[in-house]
Amino acid sequence: MTPRRVDPARDPIRPAAAEAVRFTVDGGPVEGLRGQTIAGALLASGTLAWRTTASAGRPRGVFCGIGVCFDCTVTVNGLPDVRACQRRAVDGDVVETGPGATVPDAGAVSAPASAPAAEPDAAPDAAPAAVQAADEDAS
């Protein structure tokens, strides 16, 4: 995904001029092209980040661009956690950004404080007895 728009006259795929769509983001007007995602329209308008993470306040916008990472989530017409890189912009959409996404920061997710202790007489990579018995039967 790129923030640069291709001039319709030089676009090898769709040489016809694209129709504009208008929507609001946090109350301000944004114009995109019909068929463009919300993220694409935001990037083309110069907006690189539109929310921050809840725990650390880090800026987020498009990371993967294919809907896997959830960094670009927005609220569209009252529906939270919409991936802006997947949702096409539609005339009249009301998009809200900010820290409201429910996807946690990667730093906020961690392993348990302590792992269960290993049995003192068990070797760390020893196979369970059932696996060892099955191996003996096979030979």
**Amino acid in the structure at residue 128:** P
Query: Is 122 inside any structural domain?
Result: no
CB 85 within 8 A of CB 62: yes
Query: Is 65 inside any structural domain?
Result: yes
Question: Alpha-carbon distance 132 to 4, whole Å?
Answer: 60
CB 89 within 8 A of CB 37: yes
Query: Is 59 inside any structural domain?
Result: yes
**Amino acid in the structure at residue 100:** G
Task: Please write the tens of the pLDDT for every residue from 82-100.
Answer: 999 999 999 999 999 976 4
CATH of the domain at 56: 3.10.20.440
DSSP annotation of 119 reads P
Query: Is 93 inside any structural domain?
Result: yes
For 65, the domain range is: 8-105
More confident residue, 96 or 131: 96
Total structural domains within the chain = 1
What ranges in 27-111 are assigned the alpha helix state H? 38-44
| Closest among 98, 82, 4, 92 to 49, alpha carbons compared | 98
Query: Is 1 inside any structural domain?
Result: no
Q: pTM of the entire structure? A: 0.62
Residue 8: count other Cβ atoms within 10 Å of its Cβ.
12
